[in-house]
Amino acid sequence: MASARDSSHQSDIGKMKTEADGSFKRAASSFRNWIEKGTEFAPEKDRYHLFVSYSCPWATRTLITRKLKGLEEIIPVSAVSPHMGEHGWPFANVDPFPGADVDPLYNSSHVKDLYFRADPNYGGRFTVPVLWDKKKHTIVNNESSEIIRMFNTAFNDLIPAEKAAIDIYPEAHRKEIDGINEWVYDTVNNGVYKSGFATSQEAYEGAVRPLFSSLDRLEKMLKGKDYLVGDILTEADIRLFVTIIRFDPVYVGHFKCNIRDIRNGYPAIHTWMRKLYWNNSAFKDTTNFEHIKVHYYWSQTKVNPTRIVAVGPEPDIKPLDA
């Protein structure tokens, strides 16, 4: 169900404007419903569907949490092609790509078709992740930080006890997690985008320097530690991991985040990242370097007009004993 009106300013990243000072500001997500017992969005098996891109760090937060919590059977997933073009994210029926899927619900061509199905007057960007309700034929939520909180608790009655017991946002650590999330979001997760999408020298330096100050701070925090908060895996690790795993393959070159790289410049962050990746399939199986690299280098033509995909670094991630 495509809209008749021209929505290219919403879907084409090439038409996206930066602020007058050359800085990039991320728009807030617009579907913010909550899956909760006793509400119109009740937790049910096979009622919800998750649409993602493997390339997208925000979407990958939801993939990692879905797998950690053992929600694969409860919430099926479909992945788009990494070629985000003038119509936004395409499904495999219009842009076949290894690892990309078709939309099994409506055979949509693009993610934007889902947004217009949910709201014909939708005026925002057509972002992933999208958590879709098959019963109401609408978007439940398109904000990854909220989707992972729902995955953490809402379906606990429907999964095995050992999966229900996994808590990535434990009560006792919430204040600390919230505190870390705040500056990691602003300077690291979004900091790489602010650096890469900047269209003035000042805006770029205003993003890249705080980014590396935060990496320096994280390096100290992770020295000799497997996790950021306490000695357990929390959403703070998940939210940081998705940016760090993309750092050397994409952000160093494509987004000019090159004061240092992770593998040579940050031994503690590097070890933390490799342990999560190599020791936990929720991280490894949801990381697709091909989708990651092709998406950024191909789609963001303002940053990389030739669409040439950089070949390095080799390997994408080093082994644990390197």
Ligand X SMILES: N[C@@H](CCC(=O)N[C@@H](CS)C(=O)NCC(=O)O)C(=O)O
Residues annotated catalytic, as ranges: 56
The yes or no reply on residue 125 touching ligand X (CB under 6 A) is yes
Query: Applying CB under 6 A, which of residues 143, 219, 235, 248 lies at the interface with ligand X?
Result: 143
| 74 close to 46: Cβ distance less than 8 angstroms | yes
Q: Which amino acid is at 137?
A: H
Measured from the CB of residue 302, what is the shortest distance to ligand X in angstroms?
12
The yes or no reply on residue 52 touching ligand X (CB under 6 A) is no
The yes or no reply on residue 129 touching ligand X (CB under 6 A) is yes
Measured from the CB of residue 191, what is the shortest distance to ligand X in angstroms?
14
User: Among residues 222 and 241, whose Cβ is nearest to ligand X?
Assistant: 241
Tokens of residue 132, six digits: 């879709």
CB under 8 Å to 292, separation ≥6 — which residues? 54, 55, 82, 246, 249, 250
Coil, strand or helix at 53:
coil
Beta bridge partners of 88: 85
Separation of alpha carbons 305 and 153, rounded Å: 43
Query: Applying CB under 6 A, which of residues 109, 127, 187, 286 lies at the interface with ligand X?
Result: 127
Q: Which amino acid is at 85?
A: G
User: Among residues 169 and 278, whose Cβ is nearest to ligand X?
Assistant: 169
Q: CA of 120: how far to CAs of 124, 128, 134, 287, 315, in Å?
A: 11, 18, 17, 33, 44
User: Among residues 144 and 214, whose Cβ is nearest to ligand X?
Assistant: 144
Question: Based on C-alpha coordinates, what's the Rg of the chain?
Answer: 19
The yes or no reply on residue 239 touching ligand X (CB under 6 A) is no
The yes or no reply on residue 58 touching ligand X (CB under 6 A) is yes
The yes or no reply on residue 243 touching ligand X (CB under 6 A) is no
125-133, 213-221, 261-269, 300-308 -> range binding ligand X (CB under 6 A): 125-133
Coil, strand or helix at 229:
coil
139-147, 170-178, 208-216, 285-293 -> range binding ligand X (CB under 6 A): 139-147
Question: Which residues in this chain contact ligand X in the complex, by CB under 6 A?
Answer: 13, 29, 56, 58, 88, 125-129, 142-145
